[in-house]
Amino acid sequence: MQRTLFDEEHELFRDSVRSFIEKELVPHHAEWEQAGVVDRSMFTKAGAQGFLGMAVPEELGGGGVPDFRYNVVIAEEIGRAGINGAGLGWTLQNDICLPYFLTLCTPEQKERWLPGICSGELVTAIAMTEPSIGSDLASMQTTALLDGDHYVVNGSKTFITNGINADLVITAVKTDPTQRHSGMSLLVLERGMVGFERGRNLDKIGMHAQDTAELFFTDVRVPVANRMGKEGGGFRSLVTKLPQERLSIAVSGVAAARQALAITLEYVKERKAFGQPIGRFQNSRFRLAEVATEVEIGQSFIDRCVLALNDRKLTAEEAAMAKWWCTELHKRVVDTCLQLHGGYGYMTEYPIARAYTDARITTIYGGTTEIMKEIIGKSLGL
């Protein structure tokens, strides 16, 4: 079925992104996987090509095109290249962190931060999760108590994507520890602030090229001028921005599933058993027929959600549906595809092995499958 989501300018953009990935990312991916972090030059090179901050006004260094379809193109090309670990930091900057800077920042804050975000000289992250809490953000323990024209921040965060590379960290804190949701605010902590320290670059089973860190705050003095939005408005801001984050993860899930299918189709046509390519066995055909069908179903729903997001009509429930179903699809697809590779699928030299371990986190970060179903269930009046 022919997709109708993109216009000609999106496909021209895709050609540029694909060329950039093949030239600047793919040759270094194995090195970054070994190091556990991408080189910061990835961000500046992407910025120089106009692949960061597409939605930012031109006068602030961006592309001036608030069209999420360009973000989708980048995510799909990252999935096609099989470099999800390296690409996650790129999509995090564009899809997840940037909306906070665009909608919550004052004109002064935008002038201070957005040009560097678009050029890649400033790498961003968002810090919500803490060691003692996962999905229950209202129970966070990190505090930011007002002292004159500064907040004094104490606490810690964990599982923070871009945590090592980040220069600007959107940090969820309790400015009123006596309150749950209404006591939460967002502060931007900057690299070099006294008392802001990074812990381990966490050792994960997949997404190895993506730096995922612990962050520690000890009496960090953060200017009030670094607060995003109103004091006490942090939870509402997070809830407002999470649908785009979850759709971004869903887009990547379908793209990665499609690539797993592609490499498996190639493999089963070449690998022989009992005198014929294994793709000719009925079980192989049936399993791959199921995978191909599910990927197309997921793609159709994703494309509808992207258009709804562009029209500002995507609901939290629809984003939750996309996130849980497409990431669970991603997980099922790579499992099926690895099985069809047989023993070779378990060897790390085969791309399907890395795809398998990279996929496992997607049903957890950005909101677990269980939380997504809870959101949907409540919307049904249950």
Domains of the chain: 8-122 (1.10.540.10), 126-232 (2.40.110.10), 235-379 (1.20.140.10)
Tell whether the model's pLDDT for residue 134 goes beyond 90: no
281-306 burial, b if ≥16 CB within 10 A, otherwise e? eeebeebbeebeebbeebbebbbebb
User: What is the model's pLDDT at position 43?
Assistant: 98
Query: Cα separation of 56 and 10, whole Å?
Result: 17
Summarize the confidence of residues 162-191 as an average pLDDT: 97
**What SS3 class is residue 328?**
helix
Residue type, 356: Y
Summarize the confidence of residues 247-270 as an average pLDDT: 98
User: What is the model's pLDDT at position 135?
Assistant: 76
Residue type, 18: R
Tell whether the model's pLDDT for residue 104 goes beyond 80: yes
Tell whether the model's pLDDT for residue 145 goes beyond 90: yes
User: What is the model's pLDDT at position 133?
Assistant: 84
The full DSSP string for 204-259 is: -SS-TTS-EEEEEEEEEEEEGGGEESSTT-HHHHHHHHHHHHHHHHHHHHHHHHHH
- ∠ at Cα 339 (367, 302), nearest 5°? 40
Residue range 321-377, pLDDT digits in tens: 999 999 999 999 999 999 999 999 999 999 999 999 999 999 999 999 999 999 999
Residues 250 and 327 sit within 8 Å (Cβ to Cβ): yes
User: What is the model's pLDDT at position 110?
Assistant: 98
Write out the catalytic residue numbers: 245
Q: To which H or E segment does residue 276 belong?
A: strand 276-277
Say how far residue 206 (Cα) sits from the centre of its chain: 14
Residues 137 and 235 sit within 8 Å (Cβ to Cβ): yes
User: What is the model's pLDDT at position 139?
Assistant: 87
pTM above 0.75, yes or no: yes
User: What is the model's pLDDT at position 221?
Assistant: 98
List CB contacts of 310: < 8 A, sequence separation 6 or more.
Answer: 67, 68, 69
What tokens appear for 241 in the block?
Answer: 């921005």
